[in-house]
Structure 1
Amino acid sequence: MTARGVPPRPDGERLTVKRMAELLNVSTATISNAFNRPDQLSEARRRWILDECKRLGYMGPNAAARSLRTGRTGNVGVMLADNLAYSLTDPVASEFLHGLAEVFDQNRMNMLLLSSQDPDSEYRSHLQEAMVDGFIIYGWLSKGRTYDRLLQQGKPMVAVDFDLEGCTWVNIDNYEGARTSAEHALKTPPQRVSILGLRLVASDRVCRIEDRELFREQRAVSVRRLSGYLDALHAAGHDVPPERIWSTPTNDHPDAYQAAWEALNTGQRPDLLLCMSDRLALAAIQVALQMKLRIPEDLRIVGFDGIPEGNTLHPSLTTVYQQSAEKGRMAARLFLGEEQDRNVLIPTRLLVRESCP
């Protein structure tokens, strides 16, 4: 017997809800509630049941009868770094999901969208995770309980936009895209350069990075873009101090507008803005026009992403086009085994338009 009177799992024994109920001396309904209806149990009792299930190697009830028969559900879990509403409205994330959907539609597979931001996901997601054949993890997944739980399941995983140890990944060449765009902008030497960044530091407010610690490179897409900008600037003899680099916590318009307004209302207004997303750049164009600044004569602006809105306004946006839909298609094909298992770095393309000719 082990601590608290729970016997060890016999080698090779197939664990079921019924067997776990016997081992823990509780009802099958109690086991099911611990995974699927946490509000039905006290926190202490639910935690004890989940801990014992994890120790014995039981990952939760399998809700798909078809999976019991065939070992496959026909569902793919897409683990999102952001909440669902943000992921569906952000133009880059939605285009990525569209690329996934194209390939999965062709293969008659379904997507189950999951958010790693759910603070109670360890309890709520057991059933959902049991209903999928594997996971595509988009944006970021920190090492912790969710990460450990997914690894324990032994299901296929593909990481997108970050590197995950022991996992095939698909990334955009963010460094080279940013460096190329900065080199293009520097062909007309600027007097002052500022950078509008996205999630460069751990803050829930628009801020300058100053002495704040940047996210680790393998996590932050924006840190790779920042490295590309700074290397190009340094090679051209320009050094941008930290107080001229802004970080926004989201890619939404309010944060983008605030960062652009602050950058353009400093004592020494920049004449070149390097923006790590098109939404940041579009907000900067809006602020600049409200200030009666001429683009590109008074201010040149470069974005990153290549979203359609950048080409529909005047002045149109010079930007780095990343193949977001292709990123989704490649991740899906790797997951399904339609592509040779390998890490994929997708190139970007500079689109020169009116904001920085």
Structure 2
Amino acid sequence: MRPAPPRITLKDLARELGVSTASISNAFNRPDQLSPRLRERILSEAERLGYSGPDAKARSLRTGRSRIIAVVLAETLTYSLNDAVASELLAGVAEVLDAHGHTLLLLSGRQHVSQVPGSANIADGFIVYGLMPSLKVLSDLPAHRPMVAVDFDIAGRPSVHIDNEPACYAIARHALTTPARRPGIINLRLTETPCNGRITPDYRLLAAEHTITRSRLAGFHRAFEEHGIAPAEVPMWNIEENTFEVCAPVIEAILDAPDDERPDLLLCMSDRIALTVLTLAERRGLRIPEDLRLTGFDGIAEGQNRGPRLTTIRQDSVEKGRSAARMILGLAPGDHCLLHTELILGETCP
């Protein structure tokens, strides 16, 4: 048998091209450090000569860094990849990691806690998105690694938030410029114990530091008080999962109430909830906004590409992901980042 040709090394390729070994490494791992023309030349010659890139295992052993950033999701991977808001956030994270030669690892807080640490140990840092179903997941992550929280807070760690309370105040204030006889609020995961339906006094609400839902509710309540409406008199419902299948039974019960009991204004804490209301209301022949006005939150494309268009709050989920990625890579201050939102006036609550 003929011996295999010797494997070309980084130094061999650098010598062949007359460039530094740092340039070769940057072409594979930090493309932002090179001109597009030089990077294209290096990669083209590397392919011709059979060089597949720096040895990741050797680099990890030498530097103690894997160049892997883990995103720990509060939901399952399937749900997160199908959810418009979560998938946009992941796109923003991936954009920054790609530009700086890092790899994205996805973990779910819905996994059994014993499954997460083994995968997590290889990551250089963690972006934790949303309140974990079990905080033990966080305590099992390597404490010495950088960590950024998104949409909630972890003591002593930097975080990325949007202006939830002012945003909900703004949209509720707009909605109440037209008097509402029977306003209602549909929340997303607001109660300590599972509740997929009307929130009664038997349910305790999650603490404000544990969920953005409380900040959004505070914004709604501020607008109600400004218009002389006692927040305690406004009925509230809770949704356990931001999907049509989970939302539908709760919303059907709301819409099927007698005419003199059915809300004429619904403030929804997500566009997915609002779109479910819209679909089920249309099936019942209810006119939007004449019989029922409604608002959403998120600004997803689906709500703006159908008629009537949702009145909603647009958050830039891609930029939220970018911000978290910059912080975890040390490209932005490791402090607290607050992003602003935009009120979008559609036909569902003109």
CA distance in 2, matches of 1:106, 1:216: 38
Question: Normalization by structure 1: what TM-score?
Answer: 0.78
1:137 equivalent in alignment to 2:128: yes
- Cα RMSD over matched residues? 1.8
Asked if 1 retains the 8 angstrom alpha-carbon contact of 2:88 and 2:317, the reply is: yes
CA distance in 2, matches of 1:144, 1:208: 27
Amino acid at match of 1:288: A
Q: Matched residues, percent identical?
A: 42
CA distance in 2, matches of 1:82, 1:163: 17
CA distance in 2, matches of 1:344, 1:281: 28
- Which residue of 2 is the match for residue 356 of structure 1? 349
Asked if 1 retains the 8 angstrom alpha-carbon contact of 2:183 and 2:234, the reply is: no
1:82 equivalent in alignment to 2:75: yes
Unaligned runs of 5+ in 1: 1-62
Amino acid at match of 1:107: H
CA distance in 1, matches of 2:136, 2:289: 49
Question: Normalization by structure 2: what TM-score?
Answer: 0.80
Q: Equivalent of 2:147, from 152, 157, 180?
A: 157
- Which residue of 2 is the match for residue 331 of structure 1? 324
Amino acid at match of 2:94: A
SS at match of 2:200: coil
Q: Equivalent of 1:66, from 52, 59, 75?
A: 59
CA distance in 2, matches of 1:205, 1:146: 23
1:170 equivalent in alignment to 2:163: no
1:185 equivalent in alignment to 2:185: no
Q: 1:149 offset after TM fit, Å?
A: 2.6
1:207-239 CA distances to partner (integer Å, 9 max, x unpaired)?
211111111111111121111111111211123
| Number of equivalenced pairs | 292
Q: 1:155 offset after TM fit, Å?
A: 0.5
1:92-145 CA distances to partner (integer Å, 9 max, x unpaired)?
1011001101111111111110111212x32x2333112110101000247753
Is 78-87 or 66-75 further displaced after alignment?
66-75
- Which residue of 2 is the match for residue 281 of structure 1? 274
- Which residue of 2 is the match for residue 252 of structure 1? 243
CA distance in 1, matches of 2:233, 2:216: 15
Q: 1:74 offset after TM fit, Å?
A: 0.9
Asked if 2 retains the 8 angstrom alpha-carbon contact of 1:277 and 1:303, the reply is: yes
- Which residue of 1 is the match for residue 102 of structure 2? 109
Unaligned runs of 5+ in 2: 1-55
Q: Equivalent of 1:236, from 227, 252, 276?
A: 227
Asked if 2 retains the 8 angstrom alpha-carbon contact of 1:244 and 1:263, the reply is: no
1:230-249 CA distances to partner (integer Å, 9 max, x unpaired)?
11112111234477211011
